[in-house]
Amino acid sequence: MASSYSFDVTTGVDLQEVDNAVNQAQKESSQRYDFKDAKVLTIEFARAEGVIRLHTDHDMRMRALFDIVQSKLIRRGVPVKNLDVGESIPAGSDTLRKEIKLKQALDSDTAKKVSAAIKDAKLKKVQASIQGDQVRVSGPDKDALQQAIAVLRSQDFGVELKFGNYR
């Protein structure tokens, strides 16, 4: 038996599922009646950057296009908490652009909040350490680690937390 147990707290989205959701949204938007006479209507996914870009010619169409993309992401199991939705920005020729950034890792502020939440819970001999874009939680007892997971799930950190490498 190990003398110490641990698990990692991370966040992220499955990029393949995002790609599938964007493809479904493109297909649906090309078939919808309210987009029939749109001059510009594009949805693109820059996988390397982790950004979904929407481009259309009207504010109403932008909201409808965003709703389509969001509903497809929800259906594919992509956590919408990990979406950083930008504002609609005017582009050339009376068109609008919107960027939706995907949060792939815990930023330093969120990692500090996760670590502080575990320390504030005052669980017996459970320690949290920030390691880059993840938080490693360790302790001598598996039950205490289960309590730590329950504490983290009960709070809102602005992103969907994933618990992995439970040893």
User: Which residue ranges form the domains of the chain, and what is each CATH number?
Assistant: 5-11+106-164 (3.30.70.860), 15-102 (3.30.70.990)
pLDDT per residue, tens digit, the chain (167 aa), is: 457 889 999 998 999 999 999 999 999 998 888 888 888 889 999 999 999 999 998 889 899 999 999 999 999 999 999 999 999 888 888 889 999 999 998 888 999 999 999 999 888 888 999 998 899 999 988 888 888 999 999 999 889 999 988 77
Query: Which runs of consecutive H residues, i.e. helices, occur in 45-164?
Result: 59-75, 108-121, 142-153
Class of residue 33 by CB neighbours under 10 A (exposed 0-12, middle 13-18, buried 19+):
exposed
Q: How many angstroms separate the Cα of 103 from the Cα of each of 2, 68, 79, 82, 85? A: 34, 20, 10, 5, 11
User: What is the pTM for the complete model shown?
Assistant: 0.84
